[in-house]
Structure 1
Amino acid sequence: MRRRVLLGSMLGLGVGATGTAGWAYDRFLRVKVIATDVSAAESEEDEIAVDQASATTTATTYSSDTAQIEIEAFSSGSGSDALAWYVARISTNDPRVVRAAFAQDSAGQNITETPSEIAADHDAVLAINGDYYGFRDTGIVIRNGVIYRDRGARDALVLYTDGRVEIVDETSTSADELLADGAWNVLSFGPAVVRDGVVPDGVDEVEVDTNPGNHSIQGHQPRTAVGVRENGDLVFMVVDGRAEGYSAGVTLPALGQMLLDEDCVVGYNLDGGGSSTMVFQGELVNRPRGKNEERGTSDILYVAG
């Protein structure tokens, strides 16, 4: 039996305030819970140039019966050209071990925890921040085979139970159709930075939505991305930024090229900036905000142990 939990318009949850201040409080601060104890419910269902050649690296590995993970840390350049990025290469014999989790194990808007806290709550081996779905009220949200929102607005990343990973136009489908096709997790942010093995033209001009503070994602920024290789292996990538002398961040075209360098044929940009975080076995891998300071977010994508 499939479960469906829809995040609606929240029209019945108004706070009674009027004017701009009331709208801003309701939109960006007031917690709006649509589902709690999500894990229990889901368990019922089954332009800086990157010189790769001169970059210094360190690596670590993890292996279990279901997943093999190799994490490599890269750094290159100096001063304003310094860059630090982290790559997790994931091979699994069961795509469902790549799961998603919500902050405070609850679905809704303005519910946040740090990625490390969410990862610890779910015993994640490896985790990255997700699409911060709770910052907006549009987009298709399917997590671990359960529908939470069906308001198509942009290109989404779809991870299927059979291992397929695709970029899908949400406005041309529905959550029910995606679920029927085997969608396991659907994340709605973007844009796609690699399609069919190339970086799309105009990717650096895409706007995710019209929310204040998230209207434009261009320029050199910290980034989080998911890529997939032709053989189905996943790549989680986090690029640090906004920290002169350590890492300046990258543009969207550069992010796409970095995923191409990892042999990805599909690549998708997730929430970045201060949200960009990678956690491995309970420890921070990158340096969020350039100083190991995590920002609360709505969700993570993780590999279960």
Structure 2
Amino acid sequence: MKLFKKVMFFLVFEFIFCTAFGTYLVFYGPFKNIRNTIVTSAMTTMNHKYIAKLFLNDNEINKIMDENKVDSPTESENEDAIEVKYSSNNVECINIESSRYKGYLLIVDNPRRVRIGTSSDLGKRGETLGQILKRYNAAAGINAGGFSNAMTGTGGIPSGIIIEDGRIKFIDDEKTFNIVGFNNKDVLIVGQYKYDEIENLKLRDAISFGPALIVNGKPMIKKGDGGWGIAPRTAIGQTQDGKVLLLTIDGRQKDSLGATLKDVQDILLEYGAYNASNLDGGSSATMYNDGKLVNKPSDILGERAIPSAFIVE
């Protein structure tokens, strides 16, 4: 009995010591990249900021967030650099995989097929991506813009602006919007625009989200991981020949922890994105293809109710 108590005491001591020492090394030792990933992941969640604040003060946290932030675009998209080809209506689904995450990339040859779909009770209640696609009779799609009532789970009140088929379908009281969408030439527009600039963009379908990850072939993340930590991700990009890239990365799962914004940027660059933007991720990250759910959403209840989606007609 005494031997058993000694062994148990030793095991408990070792566990406490290793946990405390490991935590110390992560936050105050040489593992800067691990520390930064933990801090940025915690600070971009709604409920887990305490993980960073427990070990670091506000100045240290702000410094880490600043070192990893995405640069704001200093130029507008060069629309003339995109030469859209309409020779194919093909949609290809590619598996994306690394040691840390699994995801899926839809390559849509014809950008005219990619449009915005919205929930039937927009402004009050959202719908799952599957429900939105079914109502629009769409072949594929991903979730798009964010929403302000995430805690209630209704997903019906969008953030920013939604433009569908050339008409403003929803707009809040913000004066500047992170635009992600297509103009009447089927060119993807990404970046911040004021309300009085939106009309000149001649947008046919767009939502609000960000940050922009690639503008005119130039990556916006030049240092750090983008400052949003590791999480499920959704993003959109366009190649110079007009193809649309729709990306979803699974996260918060044992076989797929998630991706950083830098990971997403690098994937889209690898597949030729000339302009690209982050979309709403986390529990909202969802992809359908051929009427079937492709990825594994991280929400324990399954698909999350959302206000908007990029759909493939």
The TM-score normalised by the length of structure 1 is 0.65
2:225–2:262 CA contact under 8 A, matched in 1: no
Offset of residue 202 of structure 1: 6.8
d(CA) in 2 for partners of 1:91, 1:219: 31
Residue identity matched to 1:102: T
Offset of residue 70 of structure 1: 0.5
List aligned pairs for 1:148-159, cutoff 5 A.
148-150=169-171, 151-159=174-182
Question: 1:218/1:67 Cα in 2 relative to 1: closer, same or farther (>3 Å)?
Answer: same
In the other structure, the counterpart of 2:279 is 270
Offset of residue 116 of structure 1: 0.8
For the residue of structure 1 that corresponds to 2:274, the secondary structure is strand
d(CA) in 1 for partners of 2:263, 2:244: 19
Residue identity matched to 1:126: A
Q: Which is helix-richer, 1 or 2?
A: 2
Quote the RMSD (CA, aligned, Å): 2.7
Offset of residue 189 of structure 1: 0.8
Offset of residue 219 of structure 1: 0.3
Instruction: Note if 1:121 corresponds to 2:131.
Output: no
d(CA) in 2 for partners of 1:91, 1:134: 33
Residue identity matched to 2:219: V
Offset of residue 259 of structure 1: 0.6
In the other structure, the counterpart of 1:145 is 166
Instruction: Note if 1:107 corresponds to 2:122.
Output: yes
Residue identity matched to 1:76: S
In the other structure, the counterpart of 2:90 is 68
In the other structure, the counterpart of 1:185 is 205
d(CA) in 2 for partners of 1:298, 1:147: 14
> Larger Rg: 1 or 2?
2
Offset of residue 132 of structure 1: 2.9
Between the aligned residues of both structures, percent identity stands at: 26
Match of 1:228 among 211, 231, 238: 238
List aligned pairs for 1:247-258, cutoff 5 A.
247-258=256-267
1:203–1:252 CA contact under 8 A, matched in 2: no
Question: 1:128/1:204 Cα in 2 relative to 1: closer, same or farther (>3 Å)?
Answer: farther
List aligned pairs for 1:193-208, cutoff 5 A.
193-201=213-221
Unaligned runs of 5+ in 2: 1-67, 69-85, 150-156
2:179–2:193 CA contact under 8 A, matched in 1: yes
In the other structure, the counterpart of 1:132 is 146
Alignment deviations for residues 110-134 of structure 1 (CA, whole Å, 9 cap, x no partner): 4111111111111110110110356
Residue identity matched to 2:118: F
1:197–1:264 CA contact under 8 A, matched in 2: yes
For the residue of structure 2 that corresponds to 1:274, the secondary structure is helix
Unaligned runs of 5+ in 1: 1-46, 48-63, 207-216
d(CA) in 2 for partners of 1:187, 1:238: 17
List aligned pairs for 1:8-87, cutoff 5 A.
67-77=89-99, 81=100, 83-87=101-105
Alignment deviations for residues 208-231 of structure 1 (CA, whole Å, 9 cap, x no partner): xxxxxxxxx710010100000011
2:141–2:287 CA contact under 8 A, matched in 1: yes
Offset of residue 143 of structure 1: 1.3
d(CA) in 2 for partners of 1:100, 1:139: 14
Residue identity matched to 1:143: E
Match of 1:289 among 277, 298, 302: 298
Question: 1:262/1:65 Cα in 2 relative to 1: closer, same or farther (>3 Å)?
Answer: closer
2:214–2:275 CA contact under 8 A, matched in 1: yes
Question: 1:203/1:300 Cα in 2 relative to 1: closer, same or farther (>3 Å)?
Answer: farther
In the other structure, the counterpart of 2:73 is none
Offset of residue 239 of structure 1: 0.5
1:66–1:97 CA contact under 8 A, matched in 2: no
1:114–1:296 CA contact under 8 A, matched in 2: yes
Offset of residue 291 of structure 1: 7.0
- Count of paired positions: 220
Offset of residue 290 of structure 1: 7.5
1:100–1:299 CA contact under 8 A, matched in 2: yes
d(CA) in 1 for partners of 2:140, 2:259: 23
